[in-house]
Copies of this chain bind each other. A is one copy, B any other.
């Protein structure tokens, strides 16, 4: 495809590839725990350790299509750099969630949803980008620089744990 087009999505593709590596890492964890527990076939239930890693993987996978859709919408309609940065943050949060899920009982017990702030940030970027797109079409006034500045100002908030 034309390199001028690819320029607009290369960072998104890199973050996507990194998320794929993480997915495969999670899948391997499930595979290993499954082999430890079951002599016969793969099942969805088993020992506590297996249930934990399976549920953690399942919860991460449940959120994955939503994350990908937001990442690409935000990146294509608003700012690629900021979307890729937020995507990276999401991968860190997901890693922490997965590891924390397997952790000790005494730790804080994570729920079903994680990375709310990042998902909200990506969603707000997408909405702002689409609104700006209609502003450009109907009124010819491009607010892109303001949106990018505002997004860039708020993006360090994602670093707060």
Chain A: residues with CB nearer than 8 A to chain B? 1, 3, 6-10, 13-14, 16-17, 19-21, 23-24, 27-28, 30-31, 34-35, 40-44, 51-52, 54-55, 57-59, 61-66, 68-70, 73, 76-77, 101, 105, 109-113, 119, 123, 126-127, 130, 133-134, 136-137
Is the beta-carbon distance between A3 and B137 smaller than 8 angstroms?
Answer: yes
A44-B58, A55-B43 known; A17-B73 Cβ under 8 A: yes
Q: Which of B16, B58, B123 meets A69, CB within 8 Å?
A: B16
CB distance from A83 to the nearest CB of B (A): 12
Q: Which of B7, B57, B61, B111 meets A35, CB within 8 Å?
A: B111
Tell me which residues across on chain B come within 8 A of A64, comparing CB atoms: 65-66
Q: Which of B14, B31, B55, B127 meets A17, CB within 8 Å?
A: B127
Quickly give the copy total for this chain.
3
* Main DSSP-derived SS at the A contact region: helix
Tell me which residues across on chain B come within 8 A of A21, comparing CB atoms: 123
Tell me which residues across on chain B come within 8 A of A23, comparing CB atoms: 66
Is the beta-carbon distance between A119 and B24 smaller than 8 angstroms?
Answer: yes
Given contacts A40-B105, A42-B59, A61-B65, 7 further A-B contacts (CB under 8 A): A13-B76, A24-B66, A27-B62, A34-B112, A41-B52, A42-B109, A42-B112
Tell me which residues across on chain B come within 8 A of A65, comparing CB atoms: 61, 64-65, 68
CB distance from A52 to the nearest CB of B (A): 8
Is the beta-carbon distance between B35 and A76 smaller than 8 angstroms?
Answer: no
